[in-house]
Amino acid sequence: MAIFCLAKDLKDLKRRLGNIIVGYNKEGNPIKASDLKAEGAMAVLLKDAINPNLVQTLEHTPAIIHGGPFANIAHGCNSVIATKLALKLGDYVVTEAGFGADLGAEKFLNIKTRVLGEVPSVVVLVATIKALKYHGGMSKEEIKTESIEFLNRGIENLLKHVDNIKNKFGLNVIVAINKYTHDTQNEIECLQQKLLEKGVMLSLVESWEKGGEGATDLANKVIQLCENNNQNQNDFKYIYNLEDSIKEKIEKVAKSIYGATDVEYSEEAIEQIKQIEETENGIYKKVPICIAKTQYSLSDDAKNLECKEPFAIHVKEVKLRAGAEFIVVLTGKIMTMPGLPKKPAAEQIDIDEDGNIVGIF
């Protein structure tokens, strides 16, 4: 999925497919799909899939759906081809980077923009008041109850993401709050005041209830920021340079974006970094990194919601993805097969002697 989404065109897709490393020979040199002459066949399988899908929303506006790698284990963005197409067709293009801004946004900006050759004018940071209260330590059972105390504590998490986008990457940012019926006016005003102090716009979004009308305020504010950007360009900067060493890239993201104090490596990770640096005369030292980390915390510990105490990022494995042209850095207890429930749905599915199936719905 990552290879597909980062390919510029069919020719580039075939090149990337050919670069997939399928194993190593006795001398320790990589064996690629192109060595097996398999890239052409793989490209044929994807010849139609490479074309973006045009769909229509309930309000008859166009949307392009094309690719969807997870942002906690991959780079979390739709295809470069779809984004380029949208930029040619529309005055304004809204594209998503999955999960938290420490994951999707970081990877969109450090990985995808390098391939795309474009930088966003505005970043819309989406949040909910109940999620902020949860990050402040409030239990899920009480999350719908008004609490300025827990909200204030949780706002620190949001402000870290705002700081990353605004000050680390140098981009315009607006916070969009998906408003729930149980959000109180006191909580909304508290959040508005905190963001006002930081010079950040806030928009309350009610599109889940009102459709496009519920997001009109957000759309107008995004346009305003885009126009301001045309007059006064963003001071965009990458978090790391491609010429940095693998460890330098990891540590710059961990310390600058996550707020970690240190990075600790397993012996296996250290060996893997060394192997990548030596593969094909070190050509892969200059690719971006893609950190696989829990989406629930700025740290690599899913239970560390507030991150009040100093924390380190624990790198357990480092894997080269030569086709996608990035290095995956696995941290904490992250699984590379996301989206699975703790209890498989299959446990509920059965069939009786009469052939009646139960447990699917």
List the CATH number of the domain containing 252: 3.10.410.10
Span between the terminal Cα atoms of the chain, in Å: 29
**Confidence band (pLDDT; 50, 70, 90) for 46?**
very high
Could you tell me if 197 and 165 lie in one domain?
A: yes
Q: Is residue 102 part of a domain?
A: no
Model confidence over 249-306: pLDDT tens digits?
A: 999 999 999 999 999 999 999 999 999 999 888 899 999 999 999 999 999 999 999 9
Residue 170 is part of a domain; what is its CATH number?
3.40.50.300
Could you tell me if 161 and 229 lie in one domain?
A: yes
Q: Is residue 308 part of a domain?
A: yes
pLDDT for residue 342: 77
Q: Is residue 294 part of a domain?
A: yes
pLDDT for residue 360: 85
pLDDT at 222 exceeding the cut of 70: yes
Mean pLDDT, rounded, for 317-321: 96
pLDDT at 336 exceeding the cut of 90: no
User: 162 lies in which domain range?
Assistant: 120-235
pLDDT for residue 281: 86
CA 42 vs CA 34, 36, 38: distances in Å? 11, 12, 6
CA 345 vs CA 99, 329, 351: distances in Å? 24, 30, 14
Select from 316, 354, 307 the least CA-distant residue to 335: 316
Could you tell me if 126 and 194 lie in one domain?
A: yes
**Confidence band (pLDDT; 50, 70, 90) for 339?**
low
Could you tell me if 226 and 280 lie in one domain?
A: no
Could you tell me if 228 and 261 lie in one domain?
A: no
Select from 164, 176, 169, 172 the least CA-distant residue to 230: 172
Could you tell me if 170 and 251 lie in one domain?
A: no
pLDDT at 234 exceeding the cut of 80: no
Beta strands at 122-127 and 201-205: parallel, antiparallel or unpaired: unpaired
Q: Is residue 352 part of a domain?
A: no
Question: Residue 119: helix, strand or coil by DSSP?
Answer: coil
**For 56-60, 150-154, 206-210, 335-339, which range has the lowest pLDDT when averaged over its residues?**
335-339
Question: Considering 215, 235, 255, which residue would you say is the last residue of a domain?
Answer: 235
CA atoms within 13 A on the CB side of 156: 17
Q: Is residue 57 part of a domain?
A: no
Could you tell me if 131 and 208 lie in one domain?
A: yes
pLDDT at 207 exceeding the cut of 70: yes
Could you tell me if 221 and 194 lie in one domain?
A: yes
What mean pLDDT, rounded, does the chain reach? 93
Could you tell me if 317 and 270 lie in one domain?
A: yes
Question: Considering 207, 235, 263, which residue would you say is the last residue of a domain?
Answer: 235
Could you tell me if 221 and 283 lie in one domain?
A: no
Q: Is residue 98 part of a domain?
A: no
Burial class (CB in 10 A: 0-12, 13-18, 19+), 170: middle
Give CA–CA dist 11/8, Å, rounded.
8
Could you tell me if 205 and 276 lie in one domain?
A: no
Q: Is residue 104 part of a domain?
A: no
Mean pLDDT, rounded, for 129-149: 93
Q: Is residue 16 part of a domain?
A: no
Could you tell me if 125 and 227 lie in one domain?
A: yes
Task: Domain count for the chain, please give it.
Answer: 2
**Confidence band (pLDDT; 50, 70, 90) for 94?**
very high
Question: Considering 235, 262, 281, which residue would you say is the last residue of a domain?
Answer: 235
pLDDT at 114 exceeding the cut of 90: yes
